[in-house]
A and B are shown apart, each in its own frame.
Chain A
Amino acid sequence: MPLWLDLLIRVAAVMAGFLVLPLVIGQAEHKVMAHMQGRVGPMYAGAFHGWAQLVADGVKFVQKEDVTPHDADRTVFRLAPIVALFPYLVVILTIPLGPGLVAQSLDIGLFLVLAVLGIGVVAVLMSAWASANKYSLLGGVRGAAQLLGYELPLVLAAASVAMAAGTLSLSGIVEAWRPWWLIWQAPAALVFFIAGLAEIRRPPFDMPIADSELVFGYMTEYTGLRFAFFLLAEYVGIVVIAGLTTVLFLGGWHGPFEEQLGWVWTLLKIFAVSFVIIWLRVTYPRLREDQLQRLCWLVLVPLALAQLVLTVAVKSLL
C-alpha cells in the first residue's frame, strides 16, 4: 500500500471515529438519562426513537448567529473552542482498538496522552478570560484549579499500570494485561476513572459549569457552532476517558476470539464505561468546590500513591 493511501485511510478512520462516536454517546446520554428519570427522551427526529436528534441539534447550531461579546478579546474568544477540541483529536489517534489496529502506534503513547490532555486547561482559561464576563471568569478559574488538581491522580494512576506492564506504549500495556490485574490495579482504575471524570468536567464534577450559580461557566457567552464545538469536546472527552480506562485497566481488546473480534470488545468496553459515566451524571449531585478539592488531594492522591507502592511490591514479588 502506498504511503499516501495508508495515511489517508488512517486520517479518514480517525475523523469518522471522531465524528460518529460522540454522536452515539450523545444520543445514548439523551436516552439513558430520560429512561432513568421516567421519561422517553427525544422521539420525533429521524422517526425511530429520535435517532437523528443530535444531527438536528447540529443543524440548529449551524443556523444560529455567531455572537461575540462586544468587550471580548475576539481572537482568543474564537480560538478557544478549537484549542478545547484539539487535544482529544490527538488522543484518539493513539487509542488502540485491536491487535495492531491503531491510527498511530507510539512507543510512549501513554505519556503523549497525559501530556496532550493537559492542554485542555489552556482552552478553559482562554474561553473564560476572553468572554469578558465575570461568571465565565469564575467558572474558568474553578475549572483550571480542578484540572490542575486532578491531573496529579490521573498521572499517578496511569503510572501504576505503566509500571505493572513495563511499557509506556498503549498497545504494549494491553498486550501485557492479564485478567487478575482487575484486582491488582483496581484502586488505580477507580482513581483514574474518577480523575478522568473530573478532567472532562462531567457531573458530579461540573463545578466550573454549575448552571445554577454561574449560568454556564466559561461557556456562557458562546453561541452557535462555537458552543457546539465545546459540546463536541465534552462528548469526545467521554469517549477518550472511557477509551483510556478500557485500554489501561479493562484489558482493551482481550476477550473471546480477540484476533478477529478484538475491536468489537474494545468498543463494547468503551460503551460500557461511557454508560457508567452517564449513569453517574444522573445519580450524584454536584460536588461543592471544597468537597471537590478535598476528594482530590485527601483521597485520590494518597490512594494513587498507595497503589504505586502496591504495584512495586507485587511486581518485585513476581
Chain B
Amino acid sequence: MTVADVLLLALGAVAVGSGALVVTSSHLVRSGLYLVVSLGAIAGLYLVLGAELVAWVQILVYVGAVVVLLLFAVMLTRAPIGPSPDLDRPGLPAALIGGGVGFGLAVLFADAFHWVRYPYPEPGTAERVGEQIFGAWVLPFEVVSILLLSALVGAIVLSRPDIGARLAPEPTPPAPTPAEPPPAGPEQPGSERPGPDTDDAKAAGLAADETEADQATDATKGAQA
C-alpha cells in the first residue's frame, strides 16, 4: 500500500463516517457541521486522486456556499442547542433503501471492473480541465451556463413580487375598459410604479399594528382592572 492508498482509505472512512453522523445525529445544526466534514473529506479524496481543481471547487461551492446556506436557513428558522428527538423519522426504511443502494452500487462496480488495474490518468490540473471544457466540451458547458443563468433569473423573479406580478383585481367600481391600458402621458409620472400602493399597504399594516397594540394594551388594562 502506498501513502496515497492509506490517505484514500482514511479520507473515505472520514467521509462515510461523518456522512452517517449527518443522518443519525439528532442535533440539528451538528448534522450540518458533520456535512461540512464529510464534503471536506471528499475534497481531500479528489486532491489525493490528483484532481486539484475539482477539490477546490468542492470546497468553494459545497463547504463555502451550499452548507453555509443550509446552516443559515436552519438558524433563521429553528436551531435548538441539544437533541431534538421530535424530529426523528423511522430509520428502518431509510436504512434499507440506503444500504440497498450502497450494496447494489458496490456489486455493480465490482462486477464492471473485476479488480482490473488501470494506469493512472494524467492529473486533472486547471490547465487540462480548461482545455477539455473549452475545447471538446464547449457546447455542453455553454448549455449548462444558460441553464444556470435562467435559474438565476427565475430565482430573482420569484423573490421580487414587484416584477411581473399580476395586480390584484380592485373590489371597488370595475374599470369600464379593462382590456385597454390607460394612456400613460408625461403628466402622470411614475404611473406604472407600484410605489404608492405598497406605501398604502405599509401604512395600512402599520395602522393595523397600532390598533392591535391598542387592543392589547386595553386588554391588559382590563385584566389589571
Contact = CB atoms under 8 A, between A and B. Distances in A.
B72 A118 contact: no
Contacts of B76: 141
Interface stretch (A106-114, A236-244, A276-284): A106-114
B23 interface: no
Given A129-B75, A129-B79, A108 B56 contact: yes
Interface string A121-143: 11001101110100001001100
Interface in A126-184: 126, 128-130, 132, 137, 140-141, 144-145, 148, 151, 168
Nearest to A155: B60
Residue of B29, B30, B65, B71 with highest tally of chain A CB at under 10 A: B71
Contacts of B81: 71-73, 129-130, 132
B125 A107 contact: yes
A19 interface: no
B18 to A, nearest CB: 14
Contact of B127 (A107, A137, A144): A107
A231 interface: no
A132 B59 CA distance: 28
B33 A76 contact: yes
B22 to A, nearest CB: 15
A107 B126 contact: yes
Contacts of B30: 73, 76
Interface in A74-131: 76, 107-108, 111-112, 114-116, 118-119, 121-122, 125-126, 128-130
A118 B33 contact: no
Contact of B126 (A72, A126, A137, A168): A168
Contacts of B29: 73, 76, 129
B71 to A, nearest CB: 5
A245 B169 CA distance: 55
Contact of A137 (B33, B68, B75): B75
Interface string B142-181: 0000000000000000000000000000000000000000
Contacts of A107: 52, 125-127
Interface residues of B, number: 27
Interface residues of A, number: 29
17 contacts: A72-B81, A73-B81, A107-B127, A108-B52, A112-B56, A119-B59, A121-B68, A122-B33, A125-B71, A128-B75, A129-B79, A129-B81, A132-B81, A137-B75, A144-B68, A144-B71, A148-B65
Given A71-B81, A73-B81, A126-B33, A148 B57 contact: no
Contact of A115 (B64, B82, B125): B64
B36 interface: yes
Contacts of B57: 115
A116 B27 CA distance: 26
Interface string A39-78: 0000000000000000000000000000000011100100
Interface string B114-141: 0000000000011100000000000000
Given A73-B81, A121-B68, A122-B68, A141 B63 contact: no
A114 B75 contact: no
B53 interface: yes
B127 A118 contact: no
Interface centre among B36, B75, B81, B127, by most chain A C-beta atoms within 10 angstroms, is: B81
Contacts of B59: 115-116, 118-119
B53 A108 contact: yes
A148 B69 CA distance: 9
B68 A114 contact: no
Nearest to A71: B81
A125 B33 CA distance: 10
